[in-house]
Amino acid sequence: MSERTLVLVKPDGVERGLVGEVISRIERKGLKLAALELRSADRATAEQHYAEHEGKGFYEGLLDFITGGPLVALVIEGPRAIAAFRQLAGGTDPVEKATPGTIRGDFGLEVQFNLVHGSDSVESAEREIKIWFPTL
């Protein structure tokens, strides 16, 4: 069954010129692009997106980071798209968790600056797609 998931190339990924690399990996995996936009996240959008982390030690820094420069928001679709993109991304910590061959494992060094976001469940994907692409 086809799924949709929300992907962000975070500001560090845009700054480092890795947008094409990320999209290329998505396409080579066989997933399709359903929406794509270069944009900035305002505070309210970032707070909504990361609401589950409110109150955690890294939350304020995370909001500063995500609102700190342009990012690329995408909706991608395909069979098991949610898990498939999480597999492409690798674990949250680019060194401790992500393995080589994944986006974070190949290009990341620090847990905050881990280049990409991918929705973690069907419910998260639906919620996040509404935040970033309300008309989709």
Which residues participate in catalysis according to the annotation? Answer: 117
Considering only residues 29 to 88 of the shown chain, the ones binding ligand RTP according to CB under 6 A are 53, 58, 62
Determine the interface stretch with ligand RTP among 13-21, 25-33, 38-46, 112-120 (rule: CB under 6 A): 112-120
- Alpha helix stretches (DSSP H) within the chain: 11-15, 19-29, 43-49, 59-66, 81-89, 103-107, 122-132
Q: Annotation-wise, does 4 bind a ligand?
A: no
Written as six digits, the tokens of 130 are 């509404």
Contact 47, 88 (CB under 8 A): no
Residue with Cβ nearer ligand RTP (92 or 135): 92
Among 92, 121, 122, 136, binds ligand RTP (CB under 6 A): 92
What length is written for the chain?
136
3-state helix, strand, coil in the chain (%, to 5): 45, 20, 35
Interface ranges with ligand RTP (CB under 6 A)? 53, 58, 62, 92, 111-112, 114, 117-118, 120
Binding site as annotated, residues for ATP: 10, 58, 86, 92, 104, 114
